Amino acid sequence: MSNGDLVRAAGVVLLRGSPDGREVLIVHRPRRSDWSLPKGKVYPGEHVLAAAVRECMEESGYVPLLGAPLPTLTYNALGRPKQVQYWVASARSHEPFIPNYEVDEIRWLPVAQARRQLTYEHDADTVEAATVLPPTVPLVVLRHAQAMKRSDFTGKNDAARPLTDKGKSQAKSLVSLLDSFGIESVHSSDATRCFETVKGLAKFLGSEVHHESELSEVEFAQDAKQARKRMKQLSWHEHPVVVCSHRLVLPALMKAVTANLDVDVDPSIWETKLSPGSFIIVHRVFNADKRPRVIAVERHDLADA
């Protein structure tokens, strides 16, 4: 199977609380006369996270706040292999639903009823997977966007090396992708290329960039212990946080996460050789008087868009 044959799609399991327990949003598609979850094809050049958010908005009117990833579905659809990536989600806001040719009805249903109403067993299984997950808080570990080559930089201080035009474009793309997880706090190495990667996100959030000199290449080379210590502190923050650093520093930061959090997933899948502007999301669960627990990890490369 070639990538050209594969149909990529993305969607969400949108959950909300009710007096009688949790409810799931399902959608009716008149062209297929079926009940499904909000999902749709990933456009050429579109990031899968952006597709998941867009499809939920288009099919239901709800703007989703993404949570942990769910098992990816792969099946044949109309003679072609199809891959659907799902995320648990809650509603951030919504617009009035307007019936259209793709979706003519939406329903919020109790979980058990939604599973029975869904046409396809794999959708019901996806709902089941979503409802057994506890609420999570994301920690995003980000490599700075594409920077000017060291050999092309004429300045005396490498920390002042800026982003390229492509890097600035990557930084702009990151704003909506990271905001889809509800990031509240932005932390960065004090190197210019890291700051420029996340300053747009901080501005969008009405926040500031917290400069973390311990996470710079210079200070890491001098005292790696301080970088690991600071990363432990950041990984214990009980709110959605993004940490931007450098290729050479990221492996140590991820090791600090695995060493100081209870990890329910295989750490060997945490590939830290990230391309510029790419990131790892660590989904954490916080319980009183206990270390944060990692229940899911996902990696996103901008090159995959």
HEC letters along 121-161: HHHHHHHHHHHCCCCCEEEEEEECCCECCHHHCCCCCHHHC
What's the Cα-to-Cα distance from 78 to each of 3, 35, 37, 120, 280, rounded to whole Å? 16, 18, 18, 15, 33
pLDDT of residue 131: 97
Residues of the chain with CATH 3.40.50.1240: 137-304
pLDDT of residue 156: 79
Spatial strand order in the sheet of 209-211: 209-211, 185-188, 241-245, 137-143, 279-285, 293-300, 262-263
State the amino acid at position 190 in one-letter form.
D
pLDDT of residue 304: 61
pLDDT of residue 266: 81
pLDDT of residue 1: 43
pLDDT of residue 206: 98
Return the number of other C-beta atoms located less than 10 Å from residue 275's C-beta: 14
Q: Would strands 62-69 and 80-94 be described as parallel, antiparallel, or unpaired?
A: antiparallel
pTM: 0.94
Give, to the nearest 10 degrees, the angle between helix 165-179 and helix 192-205.
40
Report how far residue 191's alpha carbon sits from residue 7's, in angstroms, rounded to the nearest whole number: 40
Mean pLDDT by 10 residues, the chain (305 residues): 78 95 97 97 96 98 98 88 97 94 97 98 98 97 95 80 96 98 98 98 98 97 97 97 98 94 82 91 91 95 72
Q: Are 145 and 167 in contact (CB under 8 A)?
A: yes
Q: Are 169 and 277 in contact (CB under 8 A)?
A: no
Report how far residue 177's alpha carbon sits from residue 273's, in angstroms, rounded to the nearest whole number: 20
- Of 225, 170, 221, the C-alpha closest to 198 is 170
Q: Which CATH class is domain 7-131?
A: alpha beta
Residues of the chain with CATH 3.90.79.10: 7-131
- Tell me the fold of 137-304: Rossmann fold (3.40.50)
Q: Which two tokens stand for residue 108?
A: 């919020």
Q: Which two tokens stand for residue 24?
A: 């799931």
